[in-house]
A and B are shown apart, each in its own frame.
Chain A
């Protein structure tokens, strides 16, 4: 059983999704989703502890040995991302029960859970597979279900947001397929480890740099790196709250994982950075993302949209860490994957609570909410402090590593940009806090605190973002292991 864990991690949710759709009862479908996500969390924890103690786990699907068969590979990086996805899914599913009842038509709720499980399956699959074409298949599973989930939003603009994401996401995925095809035609293999061995021999042809370019554009579109982020703000704003909390904490993180996997494992750090100069492309884009998107976030009147732009800026931090290219820089990037998932999950869940009680997340409707909904807004403040990077929160840990990595390379302007980005985060978080705590309460509005079913998961993530900010030892160790493995140094 434990030997088959890598495939069961994906297979169990994959089977659970049609079951949830066929049961067609909100309560039963939700239970199936709950079981699937908690199963994934158990499998993720087991896989992480095994790969940390025993090294890389390789699983040949159907007994067909790689490179002919599809291989699932669990190493510290993929186990880390699997844990992020599974953990967020396990927290969001209980939250979804209450939130979805308010936001989605009753007859669509079972299908919502089916799409939700499928989305999780796709994301887990991308992280666990060692076959590059399999990545595309799982990418499409997660993307197609995400489009459907976004379209379930109650605002009609959710439909156009989903459509826009579908068009851009499909173009991105097709670019990735072109890149994979060009790599295959030069090497005759799709297995990542095998590709890594065979690519250097053909890397001075024209085909491989073209494949590299197609992969870069496709992946950066999926992870919403500026300026390919255009699909993201609308998608996050109009999707149902539970969906936003889930995809904001996982989907772009998997994109970053793909970036790490393709450019460090498949192409190799020396080809990506020394020959193709990827860092010279990623770093300016990341810096521009941090500055411009934080600026745009300041001027948003819809808090979900504000947080969405802030997400694009935060993706900038992750890519910035990776583009520094040192162990410390990549550690900062990987660490921020987890940390950002915690805080953005908490923030979007808090917005889900507001949506539940107020029915809108526009700033002017949130006046005085600090008194009407003290617990919700307190969770928002904790998440917001983390976003800024205040000490004793996870945001501080990420930025600490990022600044250290930049200082190590003597990149003073980068440090300055990180600092300015944090200051802008102060402004946009403060904007919400000011309205919520110092605004006038509307005497006619009868606003109650969100129910416990929403508050408990929200606070779970908010407290986790404080806990892992105070005790960053474990997360930093895993991230360092992962970075060392990607760069091929150390153990």
Chain B
């Protein structure tokens, strides 16, 4: 049961490895960026999971609820920043791919490498 209780963390590890593998193994520049995105998303889930407390509610102050348990909002806020950074990185990466396509006529890594020689 303990392993099942850590379900989210298993998902994080799985996504992280999938993303990292795609990033390393694929030669297509767009696929690499998708891998990077999956990799970053796994970290988002890691943070969000950390902030969750069993039985915890949304961190909005409940009037008169003395024994209400709140989830920790800070990891959620932090990851909001990281999501913005991730969006910016993806946008910049994609625009670079567009310009690489214009300059080389391909977005396959091995073909670009052949063209550079």
Contact = CB atoms under 8 A, between A and B. Distances in A.
Nearest to B113: A160
Nearest to B104: A156
B112 A160 contact: yes
A137 B96 contact: no
A240 to B, nearest CB: 15
A interface majority secondary structure: helix
Contacts of B93: 163, 166-167
Interface residues of A, number: 26
Given A181-B46, A181-B50, A151 B96 contact: yes
Nearest to B100: A159
Contacts of B29: 163
Contacts of A136: 82, 85
B50 A177 contact: no
B interface majority secondary structure: helix
Given A174-B39, A184-B50, A151 B75 contact: no
Contact of B78 (A133, A151, A173): A133
B57 interface: no
Interface in A312-368: none
A140 B85 CA distance: 7
A178 interface: yes
A166 B40 contact: no
A50 interface: no
Contact of A159 (B40, B46, B89, B96): B96
Nearest to A165: B96
A198 interface: no
B88 interface: yes
B87 to A, nearest CB: 11
B15 interface: no
B32 A167 contact: yes
B89 A181 contact: no
A386 to B, nearest CB: 33
B8 to A, nearest CB: 13
Nearest to B47: A181
Interface of A: 133, 136-137, 140, 144, 147-148, 151, 156-157, 159-160, 162-163, 166-167, 170-171, 173-174, 177-178, 181, 184-185, 190
Given A144-B88, A177-B43, A184-B75, 9 more contacts: A140-B85, A148-B92, A156-B104, A160-B112, A163-B96, A171-B23, A171-B36, A171-B39, A181-B46
